[in-house]
Amino acid sequence: MTRRALLLAGTGMLRRVTRELAVDGWQVVLPSRRYAPIPTGDPDVHSVRWTAGHRHTTVGAGRATWVQAQWDAPADLARKASDVLTGPADLLVAWVHESYREAVLSAVEPLLSAAAPVVEVTALPTHGDVVAPPEPHYPHRPTQQVLLGSTSDVAVGRPLGHEEIERGVLEAVRRAVAGRPSSAHQLGERRTVRRS
């Protein structure tokens, strides 16, 4: 059975997540502005080829297909992703800038299977005393929220690292695929902004 994932993130931001899903046999579709390859030196990368403006990378038992698309054109992004998906997506991973989140996630919803879980990556608010996760975009779907702080909780005073983020998102993907109920998990600490 083919498992399909739609991964919405900045160019290369979740490269490790893409790789792990493809190695596990998923067909991953990545609409983004620029192509960010999984390194061809990776032992699990079997082939890379271009077709009709898309780049297909065979990784492990699966495939990652990059599609050139812009968040500021959500209907076009959804159409281009739909052209490459060979059926409804069984998983959505979304790390979309807040100003585009509503429009992009609404545009891609028709591409998802009825049972597709969601992983949403968002930043923690940096003002005020109360930290509450934003409401999931799809309240009717099981959603694993990954809430990003601004500083690492591994190395004090250091910004939250890309590797920490990818590791946290991978854990959320595993919870989503395992059918776990909706939950929110914080990565790193938030830095309070003081107003004077």
pTM: 0.85
Q: How far is CA 93 from CA 2, 28, 53, 66, 146, in A?
A: 17, 10, 23, 15, 10
The CATH architecture that domain 1-116 belongs to is: 3-Layer(aba) Sandwich (3.40)
Could you tell me the two tokens for 137? Answer: 């975009």
Q: What is the residue whose two structure tokens read 């776990």?
A: 180
Q: What is the mean pLDDT of residues 150-162?
A: 69
User: Using 50, 70 and 90 to split pLDDT, how confident is the model at 162?
Assistant: confident
Q: Where are the domains positioned within the chain?
A: 1-116, 120-196
Residue 149 pLDDT exceeds 70: yes
Q: How far is CA 126 from CA 45, 136, 185, 189, in A?
A: 39, 19, 16, 10
> Residues 64-121: pLDDT tens digits?
888 888 999 999 999 999 998 989 999 999 999 989 999 999 999 999 999 999 999 9
CB 177 within 8 A of CB 93: no
pLDDT of residue 174: 96
User: Using 50, 70 and 90 to split pLDDT, how confident is the model at 154?
Assistant: low
Terminal alpha carbon distance of the chain = 58
Residue 187 pLDDT exceeds 60: yes
CB 138 within 8 A of CB 93: no
- Highest mean pLDDT of the ranges 47-51, 108-112, 131-135, 167-171: 108-112
Could you tell me the two tokens for 154? Answer: 């591994």
d(CA 16, CA 117): 19
Partner residues linked to 147 by β-bridges: 122, 186
> Residues 123-140: pLDDT tens digits?
876 555 556 677 889 999
